[in-house]
Amino acid sequence: MELDLKKLELRNVNDKLQNLDRKTNERDFTIINPEGNHAICAGLDKEMNVTIKGHVGYYCAGMNKKATITIEGNVGTGVAENMMSGKVHVKGNASQSAGATAHGGLLIIDGDASSRCGISMKGADIIVKGSVGHMSGFMSQSGNLVVCGDAGEALGDSLYETNIYIKGTVKSLGADCIEKKMDKKHINKLKKFLKDAEIKNHKAESFKRYGSARKLYNFKIDNNY
């Protein structure tokens, strides 16, 4: 079903997707003319496929659960923020705080993501085919952040147990973030991520892994930060 945001109210479109028609059980949607609107496809909680043709604004696919959402364009701040499950695929670039606080699901960004990508994530997997900006993975607690390009300043600042895999260069590491050994299990996991995101031009072995030194969140009286 095609939903035209030039003709329909945004609330109307989101309402349709949040309350699927039980009689027709239609689960394939295309949204046209998004024109940078905010909160498109926020709060979807059923299995369905939505393709958005064009650039969107803030918090697209926020709180997503089970749905597969593809954005054929760029996304504004906070794409897939607080996602619980499902898949969000951005074919363009993402603005700041992509996948913020996401608990689960898969976020794939074909282009670059700007600052604070994966901030405070709590279990999602984020795969960025381009580069990420400063403070990415800030205070992230669980899950994986895979970056095929470079990372900006203060990567993984104050992070907990998220694994960060970077192929390119890291401008600087944040407090308590260190490079860690790539074990077999990490390589295997990364191979799966690369396969999921259909990335063929990067080998899992060529990535570096970063994680928490665990000196900051395990409180020690003699911590000197």
Q: Which two tokens stand for residue 31?
A: 């949204």
In whole angstroms, the minimum distance from the beta carbon of 114 to another protein comes to: 5
Q: Looking at beta carbons only, is 138 or 207 nearer to another protein?
A: 138
Residues lying near another protein in the complex (CB under 8 A): 35-38, 54-58, 73-74, 76-77, 92-93, 95-96, 114-115, 133-134
Q: Looking at beta carbons only, is 78 or 86 nearer to another protein?
A: 78
Q: Which two tokens stand for residue 195?
A: 């396969």
Q: Looking at beta carbons only, is 38 or 66 nearer to another protein?
A: 38
Q: Which two tokens stand for residue 90?
A: 């951005």
What does 64-90 look like in DSSP terms, one character per residue? --S-EEEESS-B-TTTTTT--SSEEEE
Q: Looking at beta carbons only, is 74 or 140 nearer to another protein?
A: 74
CA distance 201 to 54: 27
Alpha carbon of 114 to those of 106, 177, 214: distances in Å?
18, 19, 26
In whole angstroms, the minimum distance from the beta carbon of 25 to another protein comes to: 32
Q: Looking at beta carbons only, is 87 or 134 nearer to another protein?
A: 134
Q: Which of 82, 37, 80 is nearest to 59 (CA)?
A: 80
In whole angstroms, the minimum distance from the beta carbon of 65 to another protein comes to: 26
In whole angstroms, the minimum distance from the beta carbon of 89 to another protein comes to: 18
In whole angstroms, the minimum distance from the beta carbon of 53 to another protein comes to: 9
Instruction: Tell me phi and psi for residue 126, to 5 degrees.
Output: -120, 125
